[in-house]
Chains A and B, each alone.
Chain A
Amino acid sequence: MKVGGRKMKRILTVVIVVSMVMALLMMLATGCKEQADSVTDDATVTEEEVAEETAEDMGEKVVKVMHIASPEADYVAEHLEEFEEMTGIKVEMDIVPRDDINVRYLRELIQGIGTYDVVGGMGSDNYTTYVYKGNYIPLGDYMTDEEVDNIYAKDIFIDPRTGKLSGITQYQNWEMLFYRKDLLNDPDEQAAFKEKYDRDLTVPKTMDELLEVAEFFHRPPEMYGYFVGAVPWSIFGDFACAIIGEGVNISDEEGNLTLTNEGVVNAMDYVAKLAQFGPPGWETQSFFDADQLMQEGKLFMYQNWFYIWQQYSTEFTDMIGVAPPTGNVQPGVFLSGFLTLVPANAPNPELGIEFLKWFGSYDFQKQQTIATGNLPNRTDVLEDSEVVESIASFDQYKACVPYTGILKTTWGNELQTGLQEAFFRIVNGEVDAAGAMDWLQNEKYADRKAIE
C-alpha cells in the first residue's frame, strides 16, 4: 500500500508540475497573441509599436484609434502615414473583431473608461444609441456651419441633447438593388412578362412590382427570384429598407415605439412575402451567401451594400445591373457607414479631433471613394468629376441621397432579434403581419420606448 501511495504521490507531482508548466506556456502564448492581434502581425509593426511607445515617452503626440475589423479599417490602416506626415501625430490603431466591438463601444462611450481618442466602426444600428446616449466630444464644436451643412444626412448625427454634430462617418453607403440586367432586357422575357402581368418588365420601383418580378423569375432550382437572408443583422437591412421605403419609422417624435403603424406592418408583410422566392437555406443565411448565388447565375435580384458593386461592375458588366432600393412611397435608402466619435474621456481628445478632421477632409473622402467604391460623407466630393467617373452607374447612387434614413432606436441589436422572431411567426403561418407587429409592440416589447 505504501509503495502504491508513494507512486501515486510521484504521479501527482508530475501532473502538477506539467500542468503548471503548461499553464505558464499558455499564459505566455496568450500574451504574445494579444500583442500580435494589435493592428497587424508582421515584424515591421512591432518596430512601429516600439517607435510609438518611444515617441510617447519623448513627449511626441500619439492618437489612439479603435476600429472594427473590416476592409474599411484596412483602408484607413494603409493610409495612416499620410495623416502622420501631415500632422506629425503618430497613430496607434486597434482593430477589434466584430463579436467584441459592441462591448468596446459601451465601455468607451457610455462607461467612459478612456482608452481611445477615436472610436470608429459603428454601423447604423448603433447610431441612435451612441449619438443620443454616448459621452463624447461633439465634432460640431470644431467645424464651421458650412462644413456641417456639407455633410449629407447630417440630421441623423445631430445630438438632440446639444443640437450639435456628434461625429462623422468614415464613408456612407446603403443597400442597392442588384438584378440580372441581361435577363431583364431579354425580349423573350419581356414579352412573357407582359403577357402574364399586363405591364412592361422594368426595374421594380414599388414593393408590388418587386414581388411580381421576383415571382416571374423564380424558377427553382435553376434560379431564385429574390433573396432575403434571415440572419438578424442581414434581415434587419431588408426590414429597414422596406420601412423607410414606406416613408415611416419605428419611432415617433417622442421616441415611442411605432411598430403597429400601417407602413411598418406593410413593410413586414412585403419582406415575409419576398422570402418565399429565396433559395433553400435562406433562413440561416445572409446577403454574403446571395453574392455567391448571384455570381453563379442562380439568383435574379437582391439588395446589398455598395461593397459588391466594384466586383459586379467590372467582372459582370453585361450581366448585373444596379438600381435604387424599392419602396412604395420613396426609395428605401437605409444609410450606414462607420460612425466615428471622440469619447469624452479620451486621453488626448484634441488629437482625436485632428484625426476626425482628416477623416472628413476632401482629399481623404475623395481618394477613399475612388479606391473602395463607398460613397463620401461630403456633398462637395459627390460632385467631384473624378469621383463621378470612378463609380459605374453613379447616377443610381446619387438618386438615393435625398432619401437616406435609419431606424431610430437605442436598442437596435435587441430589436433586430425581435423583428426576426416576428418575421418567422409570419413565415411559419402563426400570425399575419399585423398580428406579428401587434405581438411585438404590445406583448414582447410592451412598456418599452424606441428611444430609452
Chain B
Amino acid sequence: MEKFKIANSIRENKFGFYFTLPALLFMLFFISYPIARTLYLSFHTYNPIQSNEIIFVGLENYKWLFNEPNFLNSLSITLIFTILSVIIEAIVGLSIALLLDIFRSRGTISSFISKIVLSVFIIPWALPGIAAGVVWKLLYHPTFGLINSILGRDIRWLSEKYLALFSLIVADAWKTFPFFLIIFFAAITSMSKEQSEAARTDGANWLQELRYITLPSMFPIIVIAIVFRAIDAFTKIFDLVYILTGGGPGRATEVLPLLIYNTGLRFFRFGTASALSIVVMLFSFLFGIWLFRRRR
C-alpha cells in the first residue's frame, strides 16, 4: 500500500521529482559514499606510511577507542563544551532577543534602531572561525592581552586546564550566540500578539507573560535551535580550538574533531580516525534523537 502511495506521489509530482533528481543523486553520492568509505575503513587498519595494505581488523579500532584515555578525555571535554556553550549561547541569545523586542515595540525609530543593533550582533557569527580565533588569542594573551591589561592581572586564560576550556566556551559563545538571537527574535516577532494583550488586560506582568505565554509558544523553536546547535558544537568545533589552544595545555582542550584531525591527517592512522568519526556521528545522531524526544 505504502509502495503505491510513493509511486502515485511521484507520478503526480513528476515535474518536481525530475527537478530534485540531480540534487538527490548528488546527495546520495557525496554524502553516502564518504560515510560508507569511513565505515569500511573503521573496520580496517590503514596507515600508508607503514604499508599500502588495508587490513581487516573487525572491531579492533572500536575496542581500542574505548580503552584509549585520550578518546574518553576528548569525549568528556566535547560534551562539557557542547552543553555549556549551547546553554550560554541560548540564554544570551534569548535575553537579547527579548530586549530587542521590548525596544522594538516602542515606536518606529526604536524599531529601526533595534534592526541595526540586530545586524551588528550578527557580525561575530559572520566572522570566519580562524579570524575570530586570532582575535581572541590576542585578547587572552597573558602578557600583552587586552583582557589582562584591563583587569591588571596575569591570568593564564589558555594555559590552566579548566580555565582554558572556559575561555574556549566564552569565545565560542561570543561567536555563535547570534544564531540563537536571530532565530529567537524571528520567533518572538512572528508570535500572535492577541494572547499577550489578553494576558496584560488580565493584569499579567512582563515576567508572567514571558513565563506563561512567550516561552511556551517558542518552545518548539527553542528545542530545534538547541538540537541544531548542539550537534554543530559537538561535531564541528575545530577552528577556534585549533587556533586558541591547539588542544592544550597538554590535551586539556582536545575536542573530538581535533582528535580526529590529528589521528587521521597528522598521524595517518586512517582506520582509527574513521572509527572515531563513526562514533562521533552516532553520538550526535543519538543526541539529536534524545533531544527531539524530550520536545514531545
Question: Does B74 interact with chain A (Cβ within 8 Å)?
Answer: no
Q: Taking chain B's interface residues, is the majority helix, strand, or loop, or is none over half, making it mixed?
A: loop
Known contacts A230-B249, A231-B246, A414-B266; is A293 also within 8 Å of B143 by CB? yes
Partner of B245, one of A106, A284, A417, A424: A284
Across the two chains, which residue of chain B brings its CB closest to A20?
B23
B266 adjacent to A283 (CB under 8 Å): no
B159 adjacent to A282 (CB under 8 Å): yes
B49 adjacent to A410 (CB under 8 Å): yes
Contacts of B169 in A (CB 8 A): none
Question: Does B268 interact with chain A (Cβ within 8 Å)?
Answer: yes
| Closest chain A CB from B38 CB (angstroms) | 16
B159 adjacent to A283 (CB under 8 Å): yes
A421 adjacent to B143 (CB under 8 Å): no
Give the one of A133, A284, A298, A452 with max B CB within 10 A. Answer: A284
Question: Does A317 interact with chain B (Cβ within 8 Å)?
Answer: no
Mask of A371-411 contacts with B, CB within 8 angstroms, 1/0: 00000000000000000000000000000000000000011
Across the two chains, which residue of chain A brings its CB closest to B157?
A281
A284 adjacent to B158 (CB under 8 Å): yes
Known contacts A221-B154, A452-B50; is A279 also within 8 Å of B143 by CB? yes
Measured in the bound complex, the distance between the Cα atoms of B147 and A280 in whole Å is: 14
Contacts of B141 in A (CB 8 A): 281, 289
B142 adjacent to A280 (CB under 8 Å): yes
Partner of B267, one of A133, A289, A413, A424: A413
| Closest chain B CB from A222 CB (angstroms) | 11
Interface range on chain A: under 10, 10 to 19, 20 to 34, or 35 or more? 20 to 34
Measured in the bound complex, the distance between the Cα atoms of B268 and A76 in whole Å is: 29
Contacts of A410 in B (CB 8 A): 49-50
B159 adjacent to A133 (CB under 8 Å): no
| Closest chain A CB from B96 CB (angstroms) | 26
Question: Does A232 interact with chain B (Cβ within 8 Å)?
Answer: yes
Measured in the bound complex, the distance between the Cα atoms of B246 and A410 in whole Å is: 23
How many residues does chain B have at the interface if contact means C-beta atoms less than 8 Å apart? 29
| Closest chain A CB from B168 CB (angstroms) | 11
Known contacts A411-B267, A452-B50; is A280 also within 8 Å of B164 by CB? no
Contacts of A292 in B (CB 8 A): 144
A452 adjacent to B49 (CB under 8 Å): yes
| Closest chain A CB from B170 CB (angstroms) | 15
Question: Does B104 interact with chain A (Cβ within 8 Å)?
Answer: no
Question: Does A110 interact with chain B (Cβ within 8 Å)?
Answer: yes
Partner of A421, one of B142, B155, B244, B250: B250
A281 adjacent to B159 (CB under 8 Å): yes
Contacts of A293 in B (CB 8 A): 143
Across the two chains, which residue of chain A brings its CB closest to B253?
A284
Question: Does A103 interact with chain B (Cβ within 8 Å)?
Answer: yes
A284 adjacent to B265 (CB under 8 Å): no
| Closest chain A CB from B9 CB (angstroms) | 14
Known contacts A102-B265, A102-B266, A414-B266; is A283 also within 8 Å of B248 by CB? yes
Known contacts A284-B158, A410-B49, A411-B267; is A417 also within 8 Å of B143 by CB? no
Question: Does A420 interact with chain B (Cβ within 8 Å)?
Answer: yes
Partner of B49, one of A20, A129, A296: A129
Known contacts A231-B248, A232-B246; is A280 also within 8 Å of B154 by CB? yes
Question: Does A111 interact with chain B (Cβ within 8 Å)?
Answer: yes
Give the one of B48, B164, B248 with max A CB within 10 A. Answer: B248
B245 adjacent to A414 (CB under 8 Å): no
A281 adjacent to B268 (CB under 8 Å): no
Contacts of B144 in A (CB 8 A): 292, 296
Known contacts A106-B49, A452-B49; is A283 also within 8 Å of B249 by CB? yes
Contacts of B250 in A (CB 8 A): 230, 283, 420-421, 424, 428
Measured in the bound complex, the distance between the Cα atoms of B162 and A215 in whole Å is: 28
| Closest chain B CB from A361 CB (angstroms) | 32
Measured in the bound complex, the distance between the Cα atoms of B255 and A221 in whole Å is: 32
Known contacts A231-B246, A293-B143, A410-B49; is A421 also within 8 Å of B159 by CB? no
| Closest chain B CB from A7 CB (angstroms) | 14
Contacts of B266 in A (CB 8 A): 102, 413-414, 417
Mask of B160-179 contacts with A, CB within 8 angstroms, 1/0: 00001000000000000000
Contacts of A111 in B (CB 8 A): 48, 52
Contacts of B50 in A (CB 8 A): 410, 452
B49 adjacent to A110 (CB under 8 Å): yes
Contacts of B248 in A (CB 8 A): 230-231, 283-284, 420
Contacts of B251 in A (CB 8 A): 421, 424
16 contacts between A and B (CB under 8 A): A106-B49, A110-B48, A110-B52, A111-B52, A230-B248, A230-B250, A231-B246, A280-B154, A281-B141, A281-B158, A284-B164, A284-B249, A289-B141, A417-B262, A417-B266, A424-B251
| Closest CB pairs A-B (n = 9) | A283-B249, A424-B250, A281-B142, A280-B142, A283-B159, A414-B267, A284-B248, A413-B266, A284-B158
Which B positions have Cβ atoms within 8 angstroms of A?
23, 48-50, 52, 141-144, 154-159, 164, 244-246, 248-251, 262, 265-269
